[in-house]
Structure 1
Amino acid sequence: MPDLAVLVAKPDAEASIESLRAEGVYDDDRRVRERDDDRVELPVLAAPAETDVLATVEQTDPDYRSRGLDDLLRERGWSEAERERAPSSWAVVGDVLLADFTDCPRPGEVADALLTLHREADTVLDRGPVSGEFRTPTVTVLAGSGDTETVHVEHGTKYALDLSRVMFSPGNQHERARMGDLAVEGERVLDMFAGIGYFALPMARAGADVTAVEKNPDAFRYLAENAQLNEVSDSMNLVLGDCRDVETTADRVVMGYYDALDPDADYLATALDALAPGGTLHAHATVHETDLPDAPRERVEAAARNADRAVESVAVRRVKSHAEGVWHVVADVRLA
């Protein structure tokens, strides 16, 4: 069926839209379009029987509106109170859509609506908490094929992963790209908590020689697969195990783990022992906003004193909000 529009004089546009809506033929999915200096095209679902128009025409290149989740749910009979409990944000990782449906009524209906909005996705997951030493995610399939394995591409880096087995934080996208931008051709990098290669892969693609350590077997399997997928296997030394057991020397050390600055875990001591003079450390942490920026700086400086190392500079950057009043931050530290 062709897309129809009616021609009306510009001064009559608002009144005509109101009349067409009352008649039940106005098409809210398309935009009003100017026909010439005197007339506009109003999109309709069918030729009107009651509204006075100049002509009914076919549109060969209709201008569709970009509809949101709220629009779709309203059209499907959801009340305002119900729509307020639907997810307000979500992320598409590869062809899998992730959202938090904790307080959402009829989550399956919302998941179907999200698939309508995001044609590139074929599975919708309810993202629950992560747990355990390996930070294993909890997910529930709500709609689509149910395939949780995918390949996600960011700034040219390919990440193969299974979202039911390993973590992926869409909010860290800028930080992953930044690590690739900071990496220098031929520099030695130690990624102490490599995961599937979040930071290691962009740095290896930039020409760094990366030692990537990961103790979660599921994540390590994807780390190895991703090294091949991105054609950087020759630039990466992959280690399955505890980073505190790895002895190496690096010009840059990445600690992409929230407890990296825990003074009782010895991670900082390992990082400082591996870092060459003049090297840079990137240590991640979650910190209450009232403790910023002092707490991360003080932890790093205390560890440096214990290692008899001199700190040249510390810059604390906010990556994203982690919880109410709590920030995911990274301390960029240069040591003498």
Structure 2
Amino acid sequence: MSDQSLAAVVEKERTQVALASLQQEGVYDEGRHIDEHDDGTVAIPVTDPPAQTDVLEVVRVTGETRLRTLEDHLRERGWTDAELDAAPGSWAVIGSVVLVDVVDTPRPAEVGEALLAMHGHADTVLSRQGIAGVHREPSVEVIAGEGDTHTVHREHGTTYALDLAEVMFSPGNKAERAHMGEVVDDGERVLDMFAGIGYFTLPMARGGAHVTAVEHNSTAFQYLVENVVGNEVSDRVETYRADCRDVVARGIEAADPFAFERVLMGYYDAYEYLDRALDALEAGGTIHMHEATPTAELPDRPVDRLHAAAERNDRQVTGYDLREIKGYSEGVSHVVVDATVK
């Protein structure tokens, strides 16, 4: 591309908000990259001058030297075809941080620098090294940039503040987060048993539901509270830092026991908590049970576990739908069972 194109200049810290606004306005140019402009600002490509988004200025930029793919950037750095075959094929941009797997990649620092060149609003690249422990805590390594792992991510109008070195964030669950914000009814009572930083709590609350959000991890809970305030849903979210089973038990023993129309179990071993989930679910309510299941055992394993728990608790599953969210690992799928229980 040798002609000049338009770009909207904004402060770097406003990139995510401005980008969401430009997308909504319909003027964001997805065919070009966001680039650094001056110190503290970025240039977001646009097809027309924005009329509704607050920007510093609209400038014309020459795109003839722009490198468009990771392969282009790495070839510029002298990578061979064999090395390019081992380069990562995908990555995720979470706010100002790029997450990438570079386990078998040569010269990961150069990959990180190339990704920063491609995503002008990002300032840190992290190599994902896995998730471990009951609290699903991430292991990451800074391979390029400033090394600031705290960021603010925005998707579908919801804002998530988080530290990617302390708490997990799954880019592959983006559609499911949006889906949960759409299925709830206004005023519906929801229990989120594994709330994390508010992955599903926030979209559901923004969708009008009243959510009881429970999280045991102290760091994730701090971000949960911060995100509830930041998304202005404090009047619709009640937070507990506790084991979700204890919260349900206290609710059952209360003078005015709670009963939820919907229970969300966003945890791969959620089936171990089904008895308490059913205790909290009112008759005819809906339960959403997440699970990482070997593909060969679908749909039987998660569905059988749900039926067995219902039978133990004198309940009955009257209908269900099983959805695959994403691949979890080789031969294993992340699925959700949406079930109605009377």
| TM-score, normalised with respect to structure 1 | 0.80
Q: Distance in 2 between matches of 1:328 and 1:131?
A: 16
Q: How does 1:264-279 map to 2 (within 5 A)?
A: 265=272, 267-279=273-285
Q: How does 1:74-153 map to 2 (within 5 A)?
A: 74-153=75-154
Q: State the 1:60 CA deviation.
A: 8.8
1:252 pairs with 2:258: no
Q: 1:74 to 1:61 in 2, by over 3 A?
A: closer
Match of 1:46 in 2: none
1:295 pairs with 2:296: no
Task: Say whether the 8 Å CA contact 2:67–2:73 is kept in structure 1.
Answer: no
Letter in 2 for 1:216: N
Letter in 2 for 1:316: L
Q: State the 1:62 CA deviation.
A: 5.3
Letter in 2 for 1:148: T
Q: State the 1:249 CA deviation.
A: 1.6
Q: Distance in 1 between matches of 2:61 and 2:199?
A: 45
Q: 1:210 to 1:67 in 2, by over 3 A?
A: same
Aligned sequence identity (%)? 56
Match of 2:24 in 1: none
Q: State the 1:111 CA deviation.
A: 0.3
What are the superposed Cα offsets for residues 285-327 of structure 1, whole Å, 9 maximum, x if unpaired?
Answer: 0111111111111110110011101111011100000011100
Which consecutive unaligned segments of at least 5 residues does structure 2 have? 4-31, 33-59, 252-257
Q: Alignment RMSD, CA only? A: 1.7
Q: How does 1:198-237 map to 2 (within 5 A)?
A: 198-237=199-238
Q: Distance in 2 between matches of 1:241 and 1:60?
A: 52
Q: Distance in 2 between matches of 1:60 and 1:113?
A: 20
Q: Secondary structure at the match of 1:252?
A: strand
Match of 1:316 in 2: 322
Question: Which structure has the greater CA radius of gyration?
Answer: 1
Match of 2:25 in 1: none
Q: Distance in 2 between matches of 1:111 and 1:314?
A: 43
Q: 1:61 to 1:147 in 2, by over 3 A?
A: closer
Q: Secondary structure at the match of 1:97?
A: strand
Q: 1:132 to 1:65 in 2, by over 3 A?
A: same
Match of 2:331 in 1: 325
Q: Distance in 1 between matches of 2:169 and 2:304?
A: 29
Shifted more, 202-211 versus 61-70: the winner is 61-70
Q: Distance in 1 between matches of 2:195 and 2:176?
A: 14
Q: Distance in 2 between matches of 1:122 and 1:61?
A: 23
Q: 1:195 to 1:60 in 2, by over 3 A?
A: closer
Q: Distance in 2 between matches of 1:218 and 1:258?
A: 20
Q: Which runs of 4+ in 1 moved over 3 A?
A: 59-66
Letter in 2 for 1:276: E
Q: 1:249 to 1:137 in 2, by over 3 A?
A: same
Letter in 1 for 2:301: A
Match of 1:52 in 2: none
Q: State the 1:65 CA deviation.
A: 6.4
Which consecutive unaligned segments of at least 5 residues does structure 1 have? 5-29, 31-58
| TM-score, normalised with respect to structure 2 | 0.78
